Structures are given as structure tokens and as C-alpha cells.
Amino acid sequence: MTIKVSIITATYNSAKTISDALQSVKEQSYHNIEHIIIDGASSDDTLNIIKKNGSRVSLVVSEPDSGIYDALNKGISAATGDIIGFMHSDDVFASNKSVENMVDKYQNSDADAIYCDLNYVDKNNTEKVIRKWISGDFSLSKLHLGWMPPHPTFYMKRALYAEFGGFDLSYKIAADYDSMLRYLWKKRITITYFPEVLVKMRVGGASNRSLKNIIQKTKEDKKALVSNGVFWVKALFFKNLNKIPQYFHK
């Protein structure tokens, strides 16, 4: 049986970058893809661009929401794939075989989820790599050192989202970290690592856009660690420290 892959993209006034994301999905060699767009009632040209360029888009929902995590939860509810992953509206896949290669690795394992590597790239030139996030193999002990897989490379069984829940909307920036701790530490899902860059992410995300956001992100990371039963002081220290080597991988 061919695995069906649901890719969820949240958009809001994303006209500057959404065409790149759509093209990236369109060019994938893997055919059994369900691309779901959850739009927060954009007022720019986002929806027109999706209509013109979204030949592989399966569903578009456009309505007011409570932010990106609310949109992603809507996407999870609408998804029908065997596994679910997320693509930001300003991200692209690393190659046209990214999904195919990821699925090949996943279906040859008995894991509940898979994750890969990620490149941070220049916002105007996706070929210019700023940081390399080489994930490395997973172990539970790494969670105490602030480790998490790159969320845009994380694909998990849809049935487990139904069982364990999606994103906690009390978080504005760190709901993805909270969800990773819930799945990996609390629920002990099985996970496999594919050491290949799956996604290229433009720099300038919400969590590091300003000093205010960095402070909020730190507070939310602490909350996520505490609520999931992981000692926060050590984990939070290493979570930030571990980012430094990413700038030196060339």
C-alpha cells in the first residue's frame, strides 16, 4: 500500500512566498500527497496565488483563526493521510525527491514518526545556507539537553494526532516544542531519523524576530518542559547552547 502523506500549510497574507511553497510541493516526485492550506482570511493576494498555482492542493480553508497553531490544528482535523507533516508558507523542500526519499525511509521502519535535517536559508536566496540543523539520532536522554527534531521535518501517524492531541493553543510560539515533548517523552512514540535535509527554512521566524519574542519563547519553553515533566534549567540552557554549532556546519 502506498503511504498517503498529508502536508499542512498555514497561510496569512503570505503572497510574497506562498508560490515557492506551492511549486516545491508541485515538483515532488512522490504522487500520493494531500496538500492542505489553512488560511487565516488573508487580505492580500494569497488566495489568488493558491488558486492559480496550487495544482496539487487538495483543500483550501480560509477563515479567521487564533494564530498558526489553531490553523495547523484545523489542518490535522481535515487531513486524511497516513502520516502528517507541516510546511510553512515560506519554506520549500530541499529537492524534488524529498518526500519520496523520506517515505522510503519511513516505510522501511516500524516507527510511529520520522524526522530529518533542516537548512536555514537566506530569505531572498534559498540556495544560501545560513545554518545547518543536523538532527542526529534520537535518545530520551537528549530531551533533558533541550534536543528536539526540526518540526518542519517531523512526520507522524495521523492516528497518533487523534490519540495524543495536536497543538496547545495556550502557547503562542512554542506549541511545537510542547507537542514534541508530549509525543516523545510523555507518550514515548517510536521515531526514526533520516539523515538528509528535507526542508529549507527561510530565516526570520516568529520565535527569533525580536527581543520580545525571544523572551516569550524562553518563557514558553520553560512552561513546556515543566508541564511535560522534564527538568527545565538544564534543558533550557543546552537548548540555546546547541544552536551555536549550526552556524559552523558548511
Per-residue pLDDT reduced to its tens digit, 145-189: 889 999 999 999 999 999 999 999 999 999 999 999 999 999 999
Q: Tell me which of 208 and 226 has the higher pLDDT.
A: 226
What is the CATH classification number for the domain harbouring 126?
3.90.550.10
Mean pLDDT for 190-202 is 97
Number of Cβ atoms within 10 Å of the Cβ of 48: 11
pLDDT of residue 239: 73
Number of Cβ atoms within 10 Å of the Cβ of 1: 6
Mean pLDDT for 96-120 is 97
| Residue 206, pLDDT above cutoff 60 | no
| Residue 89, pLDDT above cutoff 90 | yes
**Mean pLDDT, the chain, whole residue set:** 92
For 69-111, list the strands marked E by DSSP.
83-86, 91-93
| Residue 91, pLDDT above cutoff 90 | yes
**Alpha carbon separation from 75 to 9, 35, 62, 248 (Å, rounded):** 8, 10, 11, 36
Rounded distance between C-alpha atoms, residue 231 and residue 227, angstroms: 10
What percent of the chain clears pLDDT 90, i.e. is strictly above it? 80
pLDDT of residue 242: 62
Rounded distance between C-alpha atoms, residue 197 and residue 234, angstroms: 28
Rounded distance between C-alpha atoms, residue 187 and residue 173, angstroms: 22
Rounded distance between C-alpha atoms, residue 90 and residue 21, angstroms: 6
| Residue 132, pLDDT above cutoff 70 | yes
| Residue 84, pLDDT above cutoff 80 | yes
Q: What is the DSSP code (8-state) at residue 126?
A: T
Number of separate domains in the chain: 1
Angle between helix axes 18-26 and 46-53 (nearest 10 degrees) is 20
Q: What b-and-e string marks burial along 175-194, b requiring 16 or more CB atoms within 10 Å of the CB? A: bbbbbbbbbbbeeebebbbb
| Residue 201: partners with Cβ closer than 8 Å, 6 or more residues away | 88, 90, 91, 118, 119, 120, 121, 150, 152
**Residues spanned by the domain of 24:** 5-248
Alpha helix segments (H runs only) across 182-231? 211-227
pTM: 0.91
Mean pLDDT for 46-68 is 96
